[in-house]
Structure 1
């Protein structure tokens, strides 16, 4: 905190209400005023700047420096990861690899329940980890429809399935971003990643059962129980291990690949006794040679390999202070302020993805760097607005932190006492429902969760992980997710119907996260 006054009105209620203005205004802009996210974020950045400088007395140079620091972190490493991940995905599509990849999954079984596990759950989680930003819901829903699923049914199932992977979308950014926020209690992204393993595995293990129940009832669960157990156990256990020992970056990618591979191998020895087949509308799936399928998956094998190397502690020590590659980290002061910023040129996760991109371009037959660069510029043109919005929101978060606005909000929330851990996930749910992004939610609310936890004597990383988990449950019904899913399956205009189909599962999962977080808070 750089502001001389934590409580400018000498009244906790009045000071906290003032500090909450940017958040309330942001939510009103998105809901009541129906503003685009970028405009809402820009307006609130200006409002937050004025409140921080004029009311909380944050010196103008420090206020300006806070915005600059947030913008830098929004572009690097966050924007860097987003652009690289989506660029790799576009190369996979443009080179034809993705079509082979999709066919390799869809052709494993003609049973609807098995296809739902493979595509709606596993492939959904894989794409969430590799690209995020609505890509998995759109692609998997369309693929399920092409196989014979009803459009709204496919959209609903993919939305619910996304609840098992949303916390670690786009190479783990929702959790990784918490490490850039200077949270109370010196909470790191790794701390948050570890504590998600106390809650998310329970949800992850349950969701495949829920999906099959929604599709085919208890009979469906009984018929394909062995397949559900293979997917649920392998995905859940491997993700828990990765989040605890490696961090958030590969927490969706490797578990989903392992679950898909294990189920495909399992189906060679086991088949459901009673098949649930599609009607005549099912599209015939083209078969590809094994060698071509292996090549089609290569961009994502490379992605996993390079990100895994970048996640290893031994690799990270190369860039630590005094390490042989420490010179690749550029640290510099922000002019006119006491703040500093840094650019990790090589150790940033985006660089690992860049290597996967370059290797894919070099090994893709008849592709070349000209096409690759064209897709890069297309990616920039499509994502510069979301990245700019993230920069604005990070600027808001930095202003609120350095001005003491986050601290006074945390202190106010702590007045709820021991009941606050029960309510903490709801704050995350609201954040994602309004912004459509777990990244934006954690940027806005993780500092408050950490501050409140510190005051209450609760583990701050626990409440930040609860903020993440609660937020993921809102992805099932956030207006952004609903709009993407409905448009993808050609049901634009039926968003309300899709919302009604999904909302009770969002509330049910949120209720579990709230109660479970409260129980965990008694021990942490």
Structure 2
């Protein structure tokens, strides 16, 4: 906070009301006024700037510096990661590896309940971790439809399955972004650890829920061993990774392990009754083992490079006094006291960049010139979402440095010990309106942290609850619904799909809210 007081009116309710204007206006722009996200974000950036400057008396230099810091961090490291992740996916598709990869998964079993576990749950989680931003729902829903699933049913199942992976999409950005706010006593690693108190319960349950939705309790009974292998492998490995490594690989490695474990298990076990929705198995092209291994190579490389970049010893190279500390560009934004640190080599995006270049260099089906064209295409397709993220981070920075976040935190903290019960609901609202767990944490993580310090609840727990509540909104956010219906050729049936998923979104949100309230008394 770079202002003299967070309560310029000496009345907390009035100060908090002014502080809430950016958030309330943002929600109105998206719902009542039906504005595009990019327009709503830019408009609210301007409004927040005026409120921070005129009402909360944030000096003009600091206000400008806040926005510039948000823009820089939106581009690097966030935008950098997004473009690199999408570029890797496009390289995989262009080279033909992705088609073989999909076929290798679909061909493991003809039982469509097993295919749902492999594609709708595990592969969905893998794509969420590798790319995010709607890619997993679109691809997995289409793939399930090609295997005989009803279009809206496939979309619904993929949306619900995404509840197990949405917190760590696009190389863990929703949690990793917490480090850009420099919150007191809260880091991305702290939040990552806290997610291991909630998500294992959700992750373990969702595969059972998916099979129940497809084939009832009979289906659960008939393929119980396969569901158990998937649930236990994914849940245990993600919990271990979030506790010991952090958010970056929390979707990628568990999903690979779940698919691999289930595939190996199915070599020894198959359900007695093969479940087919249409009575006939879909035709799946067969590929040799060497082709399958090569098709996965972009993602093997991605995992290896990110694992190296995640090692404490590697990170230590760029820390103060480290061998490569000089490679970190540090400067203070002119006219302000706000500093910037750009870790060009140690950034996660650089790990993905190396995976991309290595993939192109070792793949016959794509040249560097074609790869470069795909990179330009990735930028063209995602520059607007990145600008939107830059604007939202700019809003968050203005609110933090201008004292608006503190005012809101003080206000919501008046609910006292009941606030942890409401904390995930705030996250749910954020994602429902913005369509992004990243944007949700950008807007509300500082408020959750501030409230936690005030009421004496672990602030990392509340930021984790904000993330978990937000993930449950991805099941029904207008952005997710639009992507899912368009992917399966059901544009115009958004209301029907929303109705199909809404009760599961609310049910999971209710669990997260009650569970967070219980944890608030147990976690110090």
Query: Does structure 1 conserve the Cα–Cα contact (< 8 Å) formed by 2:69 and 2:340?
Result: yes
Length-normalised TM-score, structure 1: 0.99
In the TM superposition, what is the alpha-carbon distance from 1:290 to its structure 2 partner? 0.4
The CA distance in 1 between the partners of 2:118 and 2:137, in whole Å, is 14
Report the equivalent of 1:213: 212
Residue 500 of structure 2 corresponds to residue 468 of structure 1: no
After the TM superposition, which residues 64-103 of structure 1 pair with which residues of structure 2 at under 5 Å, given as runs? 64-103=64-103
Query: Does structure 1 conserve the Cα–Cα contact (< 8 Å) formed by 2:86 and 2:378?
Result: yes
The CA distance in 2 between the partners of 1:209 and 1:279, in whole Å, is 22
Report the equivalent of 2:412: 413
The CA distance in 2 between the partners of 1:49 and 1:186, in whole Å, is 27
After the TM superposition, which residues 329-478 of structure 1 pair with which residues of structure 2 at under 5 Å, given as runs? 329-478=328-477
Query: Does structure 2 conserve the Cα–Cα contact (< 8 Å) formed by 1:473 and 1:509?
Result: yes
In the TM superposition, what is the alpha-carbon distance from 1:462 to its structure 2 partner? 0.3
Report the equivalent of 1:151: 151
Can you list the C-alpha shifts for 1:434-453, whole angstroms capped at 9, x where unaligned? 00000000000000000000
The CA distance in 2 between the partners of 1:510 and 1:492, in whole Å, is 27
Report the equivalent of 1:275: 274
The CA distance in 2 between the partners of 1:437 and 1:114, in whole Å, is 29
The CA distance in 2 between the partners of 1:99 and 1:279, in whole Å, is 24
The CA distance in 1 between the partners of 2:447 and 2:37, in whole Å, is 22
Can you list the C-alpha shifts for 1:479-498, whole angstroms capped at 9, x where unaligned? 00000000100000000000
Can you list the C-alpha shifts for 1:248-268, whole angstroms capped at 9, x where unaligned? 000000000000000000000
SS in structure 2 at match of 1:303: helix
The CA distance in 1 between the partners of 2:401 and 2:509, in whole Å, is 31
In the TM superposition, what is the alpha-carbon distance from 1:327 to its structure 2 partner? 1.1
Report the equivalent of 1:22: 22
User: Which aligned segments of 4 or more residues in structure 1 are displaced greater than 3 angstroms?
Assistant: 280-283
The CA distance in 2 between the partners of 1:411 and 1:279, in whole Å, is 57
Can you list the C-alpha shifts for 1:26-77, whole angstroms capped at 9, x where unaligned? 0000000000000000000000000000000000000000000010000000
In the TM superposition, what is the alpha-carbon distance from 1:186 to its structure 2 partner? 2.5
Query: Does structure 2 conserve the Cα–Cα contact (< 8 Å) formed by 1:146 and 1:282?
Result: no
After the TM superposition, which residues 13-412 of structure 1 pair with which residues of structure 2 at under 5 Å, given as runs? 13-183=13-183, 185-279=184-278, 283-412=282-411
SS in structure 1 at match of 2:372: helix
In the TM superposition, what is the alpha-carbon distance from 1:182 to its structure 2 partner? 1.9
List alignment gaps of at least 5 residues for structure 1.
Answer: none
The CA distance in 2 between the partners of 1:405 and 1:74, in whole Å, is 20
Query: Does structure 1 conserve the Cα–Cα contact (< 8 Å) formed by 2:449 and 2:462?
Result: yes
The CA distance in 2 between the partners of 1:282 and 1:65, in whole Å, is 60
List alignment gaps of at least 5 residues for structure 2.
Answer: none
SS in structure 2 at match of 1:332: strand
SS in structure 2 at match of 1:72: helix
The CA distance in 2 between the partners of 1:138 and 1:110, in whole Å, is 22
SS in structure 1 at match of 2:522: coil
The CA distance in 1 between the partners of 2:102 and 2:213, in whole Å, is 24
SS in structure 2 at match of 1:10: coil
The CA distance in 1 between the partners of 2:281 and 2:487, in whole Å, is 18
Query: Does structure 1 conserve the Cα–Cα contact (< 8 Å) formed by 2:198 and 2:512?
Result: yes
Query: Does structure 1 conserve the Cα–Cα contact (< 8 Å) formed by 2:96 and 2:365?
Result: no
Can you list the C-alpha shifts for 1:438-473, whole angstroms capped at 9, x where unaligned? 000000000000000000011000000000000000
How many pairs does the alignment contain? 523
Length-normalised TM-score, structure 2: 0.99
In the TM superposition, what is the alpha-carbon distance from 1:366 to its structure 2 partner? 3.8
In the TM superposition, what is the alpha-carbon distance from 1:278 to its structure 2 partner? 3.5
In the TM superposition, what is the alpha-carbon distance from 1:429 to its structure 2 partner? 0.2
The CA distance in 2 between the partners of 1:328 and 1:235, in whole Å, is 37
SS in structure 2 at match of 1:343: strand
Report the equivalent of 1:509: 508
The CA distance in 1 between the partners of 2:338 and 2:209, in whole Å, is 48
Query: Does structure 2 conserve the Cα–Cα contact (< 8 Å) formed by 1:137 and 1:485?
Result: yes
Which stretch has the larger CA shift, 282-291 or 475-484? 282-291
